């Protein structure tokens, strides 16, 4: 623990593993610190029925294709199994149940304080993702609601919502998928701040990755970009969402103005009682452990050029989405992000 490593990767999920793959190839002295008790990353906490948005052959980390699934889109457990097998396949050095509490740079060495002591490294890769930093909007009266109130990060399945009147809030993929699932067992309404936008049935995550790549290349070359009018933030028509559409349950009731102890007040002023609210309102970035080293905005974004932090030397950020590289928060996209990140780190270490 007192040894100064070349690189410490904070996070043992898909982005951390991808970085580990490239660091291992170049024989860098590195270690992954993962707060989870077992392998699988954020997928361990996802709801039971969550699947990938792309077929297995288009959802792989570097070096090893994800095994084919009997399903069009691999199931949650299949993704967890793949991640667990991946780290064993490449014998990646990981220490688990290690929570990084703070990071401080002194004399070009990072001091990494954790719940299990201090670690030291020349470089840090933050790869902690978003799942542990759920976002719920500060709507008037939210603290007065007496019913069940959870974020999609805590949602597991529909079982505990049977016979309850449920409100799902959020117009993204999680909102549509949870409406689809819970509406099978009880009465559900869907609140969205704008009308939900759906991608064509044939569009999946691999298509979106290709669009993101084209956008990245066009902007890099200073050329105009046309994504065939597809909004990258719209809802992917995975099988459960298609099934819900056929039942006619994907109907938005609009936005909510405020909340009272029994329910919500809609934007048109009408009141409606609910037993439970499920917030599908996205996530911030799990970067609070860096607050002693760099500044972040309200969402946790660190100033960076692609994945390299600009305020402090020796810090990279991998897999957080568009601000660290297009599609970098996806299984297939994190490959390119990790490869570029580790290439920059090797050059940095060489010049130390």
| 310 shares its domain with 336 | yes
Is residue 315 included in any domain, yes or no? Answer: yes
Inside any domain, residue 214? no
Q: 301 and 273: one domain?
A: no
Looking at residue 188, which CATH number applies to its domain?
3.50.50.60
Residue 209's pLDDT is: 65
% of the chain beyond a pLDDT of 70? 92
- 72/193 same-domain check: no
Residue tagged 């938005």 (tokens): 252
Q: Which of 19, 70, 21, 79 is nearest to 52 (CA)?
A: 79
Query: Given a cut of 80, is residue 233 above it in pLDDT?
Result: no
DSSP per residue over 288-338, as a string?
A: GGGTTTS-B-TT-PBPEETTEESSSTTEEE-SSSGGGSTTTTSTTHHHHHH
Give pLDDT, residue 57.
86
Question: Are residue 175 and residue 62 in the same domain, yes or no?
Answer: no
Same domain, 100 and 73: yes
183 domain-assigned: yes
Q: Which of 47-61, 165-179, 232-246 has the highest mean pLDDT?
A: 165-179
Residue that terminates a domain, selected from 245, 279, 313: 279
Q: What is the mean predicted confidence (pLDDT) over 64-82?
A: 94
Is residue 225 one of the residues assigned to a domain?
A: no
Is residue 205 assigned to a domain?
no
Which tokens in the block code for residue 236?
A: 């992917």
Number of domains in the chain: 2
The mean per-residue pLDDT over the stretch 304-332 comes to 90
The DSSP annotation for 111-130 comes to: EEEETTEEEEEEEEEE---S
Question: In what helix (H) or strand (E) does residue 271 lie, and over which residues does it extend?
Answer: strand 271-273
Q: Residue range 210-236: average pLDDT?
A: 66
39 and 80 in a single domain? The answer is: yes
- Helical pair 14-25 and 333-350, crossing angle rounded to 10 deg: 50
Asked whether residue 247 is domain-assigned, the answer is yes
For residues 187 and 184, give the distance between their C-alpha atoms in angstroms, rounded to a whole number: 8
User: CA–CA separation, 168 vs 267, rounded Å?
Assistant: 16
Do residues 293 and 262 share a domain?
no
Asked whether the beta carbons of 244 and 95 are under 8 A apart, the reply is: no
pTM of structure? 0.90
Residue 215 domain-assigned? no
Instruction: Give the confidence band of 66 by pLDDT, cuts at 50, 70, 90.
Output: very high
User: Whole domain around residue 257: which residue ranges?
Assistant: 142-198+234-279
- Same domain as 74, residue 18: yes
User: Of 38-42, 176-180, 196-200, 347-351, where does mean pLDDT reach its minimum?
Assistant: 196-200
What mean pLDDT is predicted for residues 287-299? Answer: 94
Nearest alpha-carbon partner for 8 in 112, 155, 114: 112
Which of the four pLDDT bands, split at 50, 70 and 90, describes residue 270? Answer: very high
């Amino acid at each position: 623990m007192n040894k100064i490593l070349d690189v410490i990767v904070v996070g043992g999920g898909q982005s951390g593993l991808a970085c580990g793959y490239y660091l291992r190839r170049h024989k860098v002295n590195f270690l992954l610190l993962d707060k989870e008790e077992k392998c699988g990353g954020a997928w361990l906490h996802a709801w039971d029925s969550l699947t990938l948005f792309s077929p297995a052959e288009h959802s792989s980390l570097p070096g090893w294709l994800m095994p084919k699934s009997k399903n069009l889109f691999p199931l949650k457990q299949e993704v967890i199994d793949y991640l667990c097998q991946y780290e064993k396949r490449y014998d990646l050095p990981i220490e688990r149940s290690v929570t990084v509490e703070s990071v401080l740079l002194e004399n070009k060495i990072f001091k990494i304080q954790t719940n299990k002591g201090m670690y030291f490294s020349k470089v840090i890769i933050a790869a902690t993702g978003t799942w542990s930093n759920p976002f719920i909007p500060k709507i008037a009266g939210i603290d007065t609601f007496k019913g069940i109130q959870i974020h999609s990060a805590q949602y597991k399945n529909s079982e505990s919502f049977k016979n309850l009147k449920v409100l799902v809030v959020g117009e993204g993929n999680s909102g549509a998928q949870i409406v689809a699932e819970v509406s099978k067992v009880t009465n559900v309404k869907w609140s969205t701040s704008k009308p939900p936008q759906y991608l064509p049935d044939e569009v999946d995550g691999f298509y979106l990755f290709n669009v993101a790549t084209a956008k990245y290349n066009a902007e890099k070359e200073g050329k105009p970009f046309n994504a065939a009018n597809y909004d990258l933030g719209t809802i992917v028509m995975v099988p459960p969402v298609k099934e819900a559409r056929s039942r006619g349950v994907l109907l938005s009731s609009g936005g909510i103005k405020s909340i009272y102890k029994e329910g919500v007040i809609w934007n048109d002023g009408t009141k409606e009682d609910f037993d439970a609210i499920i917030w599908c309102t996205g996530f911030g970035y799990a970067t609070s452990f860096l607050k002693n080293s760099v500044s972040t905005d309200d969402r946790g974004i660190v100033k960076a050029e692609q994945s390299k932090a600009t305020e402090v030397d020796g810090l990279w950020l991998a897999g957080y989405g568009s601000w660290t590289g297009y599609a970098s928060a996806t299984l297939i996209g994190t490959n390119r992000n990790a490869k570029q990140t580790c290439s920059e780190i090797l050059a940095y270490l060489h010049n130390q």
